[in-house]
Amino acid sequence: MDSKIVEIFIPGPAGRLEAKYYKSKKNTSPIALVLHPHPQYGGTMNNKVVVDTFHVFMDNDFSVCRVNFRGVGKSDGEFDNGQGELADAAAALDWLERENFDNSQCWISGFSFGSLISMQLLMRRPEINRFIAISPQPNVYDFSFLSPCPSSGLMIYGKKDELVPASNINELNKRLSAQKGIKVEFEAVPEANHFFSKSDQVLIKSLNKYIKKESALY
């Protein structure tokens, strides 16, 4: 493991939250928070997609944090159907901002269930100026709260996602692309399933490209 990545505990609303944190050496570096998939289906911050995303932010000189929601790993509390998890994410972002008060940009990213929580957090925190949602599930969760969506971002998903019908993604795309002043890019990874099982390198490349392009604007 990279020795610059430290294990930390963040004070959360249901007790302490276990997290991994990397601090960029660059002053005013951008910050990013990465959220994991559904805890009741084995989602943790050590999920491969979450770790890969964390490393791409790291490689782009972000100060970045990934956190275990309540009841996962060494985090206190128990699963709370999304409400508590949103409060956990907010507490993690508070902590990250305090550690990097001079940040130049604030990003949120999440995978699957984590993408839902990250989009809900985006609606509540005007300082978030970019997002990356990986394998969102508009067929399971109602994303209509994203109207209007306050910030530009990337929605990336597998063409062969076995959990989400393409029609639901297309509908979300249509709704978000009609909004003025922001640009939400939708990217389909041809051979990928919901978990990007054999397409992790393609995902990493796409994330890297988007993060480089968008963080250079600041």
Q: Check whether 1 has a pLDDT greater than 50.
A: no
Q: Residue 15 — left, alpha, or beta (φ > 0 → left; ψ -120 to 50 → alpha)? A: left
The CATH superfamily label for domain 5-215 reads: Alpha/Beta hydrolase fold, catalytic domain (3.40.50.1820)
Q: What ranges do the domains of the chain cover?
A: 5-215
Joined tokens for residue 188: 């389909």
pLDDT of residue 2: 55
Adjacent-strand bridge partners of 31: 63, 106
Fill in the DSSP letter of residue 41. Answer: G
d(CA 190, CA 202): 10
pLDDT digits (tens, 9 = 90+) for 66-124: 999 999 999 999 999 999 999 999 999 999 999 999 999 999 999 999 999 999 999 99
Please give the order of strands across the beta sheet that includes 31-35: 5-12, 15-22, 63-67, 31-35, 106-111, 130-134, 153-158, 184-189
pLDDT digits (tens, 9 = 90+) for 168-191: 999 999 999 988 899 999 999 999
Tell me, yes or no, if the pTM score tops 0.95.
Answer: yes
pLDDT digits (tens, 9 = 90+) for 196-212: 999 999 999 999 999 99
Joined tokens for residue 197: 């099982």
Joined tokens for residue 118: 């990250």
